[in-house]
Copies of this chain bind each other. A is one copy, B any other.
């Protein structure tokens, strides 16, 4: 029997669909989970967005995304914190249990400095996250994004940060696209244990033609998704499996057929 109980799809995966359309289509497809990107909340109140989700029986797995902590000026530091507080609040209103953190990096800052800003930034968000009951999920990003998207590039680094800030309100979103290559993956997932609070899937294409928007559907590429899922679930993780695919190629196709492809790939390759 086809079981989609744990399947969540990110709104960014079906980018051409706005929130009302995505809610209707996911529900029609028998799905009950969604990774909600913040842009999809624009144009209506947060309460209305929550109602939309509720009315379709859709549960938000995560709100994407907070982070981007590294700063050049004190103003930038404050702007980043304000934005993260806003994301945390939004997650609370729509009922998302976690905000995914793309931690940030700046090419003009040293990696050491970016990493220090990130750890401090996350620490500064914890009290607020706790106050509204929303967790922060550090998503390590592939090292090819270390210049301007995230200076946190391995599960090991996320573990190091959490060692410093505590793990009551901070966990890890493990996205196979970012971590599949890591020779220390197994050990660091074991070390993370119950810190793993998110699991994102897609695939790595050979060749990959674009740094951002050329991901594959699960099974199209070289990632051992099932193997990584086993590692993650061996920690006790039984949460949502979130499909997060950025793809100019798929965004240009019929999104109904694409959602069917995703469901089939989930059953076959995840």
Contact = CB atoms under 8 A, between A and B. Distances in A.
Interface of A: 107-108, 110-111, 115, 142-144, 146-148, 151, 153-154, 156-157, 160, 180-184, 204, 206-209, 211, 221-222, 224, 227
Contact of A183 (B144, B157, B211, B227): B157
A216 to B, nearest CB: 11
7 tightest A-B contacts by CB? A107-B222, A146-B181, A143-B181, A144-B144, A107-B206, A147-B206, A143-B143
Contacts of A209: 211
Contacts of A221: 107, 147
A134 to B, nearest CB: 27
A211 B222 contact: no
A15 to B, nearest CB: 20
Contacts of A207: 148, 211
Contacts of A208: 144, 147, 211
A222 B108 contact: yes
6 contacts: A110-B227, A111-B183, A143-B182, A148-B207, A154-B183, A156-B183
Contacts of A110: 224, 227
A224 B114 CA distance: 13
A108 to B, nearest CB: 7
Contacts of A227: 110
Contacts of A224: 110-111
Contact of A111 (B108, B115, B143, B181): B181
Contacts of A211: 207-209, 211
Contacts of A151: 181
Contacts of A156: 183-184
Given A107-B222, A110-B224, A148 B206 contact: yes
Contacts of A222: 107-108, 147
Contacts of A181: 111, 143, 146, 151, 153
A228 B183 CA distance: 22
Contact of A142 (B111, B144, B184): B144
A202 to B, nearest CB: 14
A184 B160 CA distance: 12
A208 B209 CA distance: 12
A106 B181 CA distance: 12
A160 B187 CA distance: 15
A204 B146 CA distance: 10
A145 to B, nearest CB: 9
